[in-house]
Each structure stands twice: as C-alpha cells, then as structure tokens.
Structure 1
Amino acid sequence: MNEEDLNEALHDVIVRSSPPPSMDPAHALEQARRARKRRRATWAGLAVVPLVVGVTAGPALFTNYTGHRSVGQMVAGGPGTPSAFPPSASASQPVSTVAPTTAPKTRKTGDPWPEGQADRTASAGPRADRAVKLMNDLTSSLPPGFTSPDLKYPGGGPMRWPQSQYASSDGEPDYWEYSASIPVQKDNRVGKLLVLSTTPNGKPATDPCTLAKGFWGGTGTCDLVDVGGKKVGVLTAKGRGSYDQWAAYRYDDGTVVYFAQAKKSDRTERSPLTQPVFTARQLAELATSPKFKIST
C-alpha cells in the first residue's frame, strides 16, 4: 500500500465515524425515559483504533489487514464473513466507499439505520404496520364503559400513537421495540394505556419483578401473578412517573411485553379517571396475551 492509498483509507474512516442521525423528535418525552436507561456511552473512535495501530506499526501490518477485509467493512462492521482479496489484487484493489444498506448483527458507531430508515423510527413498511396493529389490538382490549377517542394534546399532537423503533445501542445485537399508547376516557375523564413489545435482545433472563422494575426505572411494590403457569411481575408505583401500574412478562424466546396504565393522562388538563382501567390480574393476563407479542 502506498501513501496515497493510506490517506484515502484514513479519509474513509473519518467520513464513516460521523455521528448517526438524531432520533425522531415525536413523542420525545416518552422516548427520553427509555433512552435514559438504554443509552450507554457510545464507542465513537473505537473503529479508528485498528487503522491507527496499523499506521504506527508500519505499512506491512496495515497491508495485512486490507488483505483480508476492506476498510469499509472494518469501519462499518458489515455482516457476514469478510471476503479475501485475490493475492494479485491486494495492492491495487480500490477501497470501497459504499456504506452497507442493512444494519449488521451487532450495532457499531457509524452504521446506517436498517431498512433504509432516516433514524431509529420506522415510519413506513411492515414494522410500522405492526405498531399500528398493536395500537388497534390495545384499543379492542378496553373493557365496557371505556373508550379511546381521537383526542389531541394542547399542542395538536395525537394522544393515540403507534411506534416502531430500532432499539439497539452500540455493541448490542439488533432488536426492536414496538409500542402503542392510547387515551382512555370514561365520563369525560381521561387516563392512558401503553403496551410495549421488545423483540429478543440477547440479554439474560431475570426474575419477573426485576424485569418490571426495569420499565423506565420504575419503583414501587411488585407482586408475582400466576397466569396459567406464567409468572408475571405486576408493579404498583409509589406515585411518581407517568404510569401507576404495569405488568411485565418475558417469553422463553426472549420477547418482553410491558402493559402499563395510568388514571391521568399527562400534558392535558382533563380530569383523571376515578378508577384504574384494569385490575392487577387483568394487567398480567394482557401482558401474556399472544396478540401483544412481537418477536421479529
């Protein structure tokens, strides 16, 4: 590798190490609470280390790297086993500057968002459709006497919203969060419900109450509820946070479902409900309902 090739490779690293696009600002309050627990310090700059070491160690070591993996693969972390260059072309093979179009199996700084997305949120396509179905299934689960009208927040935004979000942080395997929130009205009083289904994320299983306490850092009293042999954690909050009570269940395949309720809907002046929409057992039963499980 000559000096011109080396400069071109380092320029490629700088371009690919730029920060990813910002998240969709919609529903920022709801997402911020999840993000506060999930986001970790990014590994920005780690992808540059192998190249810096290669420069320090000399052209021979750097050529050894490029002989087995393109600079683009080293930085972007493309999926699959890297292909070797033909021996006769190792010195003349052009450095790829085309970013992969799909996310790798493990997220790295600088990777493109999956499936052509502009940010974490899937605003169209099958994943967005799954979130809409989740919202419709949530609405159809309301008990008699409760409705979910198409209400608006004071700023004009809808109180009914679905969301599909690519949830992986750097160093984590690919996984997704599908969520739906709806207002619940009775006698001109308004509360809210939320269901969140997370695809398997490779994290180890925990006991149901530990899982429940992981819902946006919730604190309160947790009880185990048995639903046909399935152990569900139902946490009753201490009066802080956006939700009063929620159920948490983890399937054997790693899919996690949270089902939450609140008598008061935030960002609105409407009077809160006088009673919870569901009992603790009903919350547990809903968290284990197959219609709220989304594993892909």
Structure 2
Amino acid sequence: MNEQELREGLRSEMAGITPPPPLSTEATLGKARRTHFRRRAVLASLGSAAVVLAVAGFAAVATPDGHVYQPAGQGPLASPDGSEETKEPWPTGPDGQPQEDRTARAGSKYDQGVHLLTEAVSAVPAGFTAPEDPPGQPAEQRTLRTNQAQFEDRVGDVDVWSYFSSVAVAQGKGTGRVIVEVHDAGNPLPTEPCALAQQFWGMRGECQVETVGTAQVGVVVRPTGDEQLDQWSAYRHPDGVVVFVAQAARLDESRPALTKLPFSVAQLAALAVDERFHLK
C-alpha cells in the first residue's frame, strides 16, 4: 500500500464513523473538561510533547502516553437511546441558527466566558504577572490566556452551560497557570464540598474542607495519580452555581515552573466563593 492509498483508506474509515452523542453525566463533564485542557496544554508544547493528526478535516492530538484526544461536540444532541428521529439541534446562536458544536463563538454565553477570563486575570496576586498572547493571534492558538463557553446539557427547557478560563501566571523565570471554571445552576455536580472537588475533571486527591465566612469549600491540596494541576478548590453557591479554581506551578513543558504557587490554600478557597466568579 502506498501513501496515497493509506490516506484514502483513512478518509474512508473516518467518513464511516458516527460520532457518539454527548452524555449528561458527571463523569462526562470531568472527561470533557480534562480533554479540553490537555488538548490546549499539549498543543502549547508540540515540539517535544505531542503529534497532531489531521485526516479529512478531523483533528486529534496524540500524546506521548498513547492517548488520542478528539474535539468534543461533533454532532447534535440525541435521545438516551440514540435514535436518529429524536435528535435535537445545538443551542441557538445570536444569528438565530443552531451552533455547530458545544462551543459558543458569539452572543451572551460567549461574552460570559470572556468576562470570566477578565475576572480571572484580575485575581492574579501581587508579585505575579499575567503575560498575554501576541496581538492578533487566533483564539485557537492562544496558550497564555484562554476562555470558552460550552453547552453541557439541557434540563427540561433550560440549557446548562459551563465557562472556562485559563491564565498564565509568571514570576521570575517561572510560569504557571490559574484556572477558573463555572457551571450554571441545574448542573448534576455534588453538593458535599470534597465530593464536589473530586469531580473536577474527574481528578482525585487529598481533600480538606476550608471555611470561608459561612461557606464550606472543598480544596484538593495534593493530587493523586494526575499532577497536571497542583491544587484546586470547589464551591456550590446556594443558587446551584458551581465554581472551581485551580492552580499549577507549570504552564507547559516549554517553560520553567514557578518556584511557589500563586495562592495559599486559604486564598484558593476564598476565590471559589468570590462573587467575581459567581456567574448568573
């Protein structure tokens, strides 16, 4: 088989695959967000950490550990039994047409994601800086400041969204990361603080409950089995909105890590309760 025949075979194989419908479960929420973050992190260090595959317009990222991460949201919503007749369109965008996938690229939901990024930058503590991507760089190529508004599920007649922002944080020669993620009320995430924290991207770790005023916040102070993030906090507001705040000493493999994390455990817990991130 020559190279051309191989490519044609791959295209034919991909064309025959029907993408699976999205699942509205807690595990799927964690897996989808981990996929999103890892894809960005891997793309930021392509030279030594990943290979990008493109076949007939399909993009995937193969990492050194053998995982292949694919873009989420490749089709319309479907009924639990997967029947074709009951598929629903993605949420309607500002142009009056259904979105092409889970991600909002304009409109009020998109604006919420941009707002969250702005607030995340404002939370960077004194002594640290928040470097920016080069002017004019396309959104999909940015690694220092990123944001996304993503449709998660439809509960009754209400669309439930999540909003994600990632900010590079620098001090001296080191560069780390601060992440803020918010889920609309109506999400299926747990209420108990540490159970909630353990749902962030499906990650696990040593968790403790911190008290901030009258609020109880779950904080994973030490991850187990996955060290892409160092610490993260989780809080469910009384109205059901969930906020996660995470920090990592390393942004990617191409840059030195920070010598210390930007926030203490108490500060990380306080940020999860901070009204700046309580999107409504």
TM superposition score normalised by structure 1: 0.62
The list of structure 1 runs, each at least 4 consecutive aligned residues, that deviate by more than 4 angstroms after superposition, is 18-23, 25-28, 30-35, 169-173
1:116-154 residue CA offsets vs partner (Å, 9 max, x unmatched) = 32211111112111111111111111111101111479x
Find the partner of 2:125 among 143, 148, 173: 143
User: Deviation of residue 42 (structure 1)?
Assistant: 6.4
CA contact (8 A) 2:21 2:78 kept: no
1:198-233 residue CA offsets vs partner (Å, 9 max, x unmatched) = 001253743100000000111111010000010000
Paired position in structure 2 for 1:286:
271
Find the partner of 1:163 among 134, 143, 148: 148
User: Deviation of residue 113 (structure 1)?
Assistant: 3.1
Paired position in structure 2 for 1:176:
161
How is 1:243-258 mapped onto 2 (pairs within 5 angstroms)? Answer: 243-258=229-244
Alpha-carbon distance in structure 2 between the residues aligned to 1:220 and 1:242: 12
Find the partner of 1:231 among 208, 216, 225: 216
Find the partner of 2:170 among 173, 182, 185: 185
Instruction: Give identity over the alignment, percent.
Output: 34
Alpha-carbon distance in structure 2 between the residues aligned to 1:130 and 1:202: 17
Amino acid at match of 1:43: P
Alpha-carbon distance in structure 1 between the residues aligned to 2:169 and 2:184: 26
How much is the aligned-residue C-alpha RMSD, in angstroms?
A: 3.6
Residue aligned with 1:120, SS: coil
Unaligned runs of 5+ in 2: 1-17, 23-31, 42-68
Say if 1:140 and 1:205 are closer, same or farther in 2 by CA, change over 3 A.
same
Find the partner of 2:100 among 103, 114, 118: 118
Establish whether residue 29 from structure 1 lines up as the match of residue 39 from structure 2.
Answer: yes
Alpha-carbon distance in structure 2 between the residues aligned to 1:113 and 1:19: 18
Alpha-carbon distance in structure 2 between the residues aligned to 1:217 and 1:202: 15
Say if 1:222 and 1:294 are closer, same or farther in 2 by CA, change over 3 A.
same
Establish whether residue 242 from structure 1 lines up as the match of residue 220 from structure 2.
Answer: no
How is 1:47-196 mapped onto 2 (pairs within 5 angstroms)? Answer: 48=85, 75=86, 109-115=87-93, 116=97, 117-151=99-133, 156-168=141-153, 174-196=159-181
- More deviation in 109-118 or 203-212? 109-118
Say if 1:27 and 1:243 are closer, same or farther in 2 by CA, change over 3 A.
closer
Alpha-carbon distance in structure 1 between the residues aligned to 2:104 and 2:80: 24
Equivalences, count: 213
Say if 1:146 and 1:256 are closer, same or farther in 2 by CA, change over 3 A.
same
User: Deviation of residue 114 (structure 1)?
Assistant: 2.9
Amino acid at match of 2:111: D
CA contact (8 A) 1:226 1:232 kept: yes
User: Deviation of residue 43 (structure 1)?
Assistant: 2.6
Alpha-carbon distance in structure 1 between the residues aligned to 2:263 and 2:217: 15
- The structure where strand makes up a greater share of residues is 2
Find the partner of 1:217 among 195, 199, 202: 202
Alpha-carbon distance in structure 2 between the residues aligned to 1:231 and 1:256: 13
Establish whether residue 43 from structure 1 lines up as the match of residue 70 from structure 2.
Answer: no
TM superposition score normalised by structure 2: 0.66
Residue aligned with 2:202, SS: coil
How is 1:193-212 mapped onto 2 (pairs within 5 angstroms)? Answer: 193-203=178-188, 205-212=190-197
Alpha-carbon distance in structure 1 between the residues aligned to 2:251 and 2:37: 14
Paired position in structure 1 for 2:246:
260
